[in-house]
Structure 1
Amino acid sequence: MDRQRGYTLIEVIVAFAVLGLGLMLLLGTLSNGTRQVRWAAESGRAALHARSLLDDVGIAVPITPGQSAGTFEDGRYRWTLEIAPFVDPDAPPALAAPDGDGLFELTLAVDWGEAGPRERLRLQTLRLRAPDAAAMVVP
């Protein structure tokens, strides 16, 4: 009697197990890739909103010390803007602007999603507040 050559049941089960493990690893990698793309898109949109808001400071939003907050895209992105006078620790106190004009430090925080460490953008910049035009009247 000739023996037929073929695969045993054990070999077929091992082959399916290896195939299943390979597919599981592949799907995990694809899932992680889509998560990274989504995070990049959300952080990019947060940066665009932050840039837009910072561009308005000094034009549409007055440079006055204090804190303000708001949202973008119906609450999807939340922001907090803090404006404080900037004091250079290396400059002598005599150079400080006594009339309140001068440099101001703007700190903008934008959060989205669960506001975890990867879902938070924090920006700091300096802005010069020009003296009021009415105060510059020459006699």
Structure 2
Amino acid sequence: MSLHSRGRGRGPGGPRADQRGYSLLEIIVAFAVLGLALSLLLGTLSGGTRQVRWAADSGRAVLHAQSLLDEVGVGEVLVPGRRDGEFEGGRYRWVLDVAPYVDRERPPGQPADPYAPQLLQLRLVVSWGEGGPRERLQVDTLRLVQPDPSGLSG
């Protein structure tokens, strides 16, 4: 075998003719693709973090709403009107509207028994953050209340 067939154009200690390295353009394109992939990955992770934060905030709003509705009308007479307040130093704000329930199935003009229990409609709105549609919880419920005997006697 001759030296020429084994080395094939290779000088003493030099690179072979069929070997070549990466060009500067290829390296720049590779870094650009890597940067794009990393920015998409970080964007996905930050979106996931936002969703986790939103889920935690809405979960706490549900707990506050349930707690408030459990307390309403306990130890006090529930009367129509509007009340508001806040939880956690203003992080969560709430508005409670209490109104007599209007039965649409009941014929108009039919007199109501003043001694019968009455249905009240409660609408509780808990908001947090900017109070946008995704940062607001509305709960509607009904409560059956007994009439206040001291108010009926006249």
TM-score (norm 2): 0.80
C-alpha deviations, 1:76-126, integer Å up to 9, x for none? 000000000001011134363435840000000001001111000011000
Which of 71, 80, 88 aligns to 1:73? It is: 88
Which of 106, 114, 129 aligns to 1:91? It is: 106
> Which residue of 2 is the match for residue 15 of structure 1?
30
Mark the CA change 1:133 to 1:12 in structure 2 (over 3 Å): closer, same or farther.
same
Structure 2: gaps of 5 or more residues: 1-9, 11-15
Mark the CA change 1:33 to 1:60 in structure 2 (over 3 Å): closer, same or farther.
farther
Name which of structure 1's ranges 53-62 and 66-75 shifts more when overlaid on structure 2.
53-62
Letter in 2 for 1:122: Q
1:66 & 1:131 partners in 2: Cα distance?
16
Letter in 2 for 1:78: R
Structure 1: gaps of 5 or more residues: none
2:148 & 2:107 partners in 1: Cα distance?
25
Select the structure of larger CA radius of gyration.
2
User: What SS does the corresponding residue of 1:103 show, helix, strand or coil?
Assistant: strand
CA RMSD of aligned residues (A): 2.0
> Which residue of 2 is the match for residue 119 of structure 1?
135
- What is the identity percentage for the equivalent residue pairs of Structure 1 and Structure 2? 61
CA contact (8 A) 2:116 2:146 kept: no
> Which residue of 1 is the match for residue 145 of structure 2?
129
TM-score (norm 1): 0.88
Letter in 1 for 2:139: L
Which of 8, 20, 29 aligns to 2:44? It is: 29
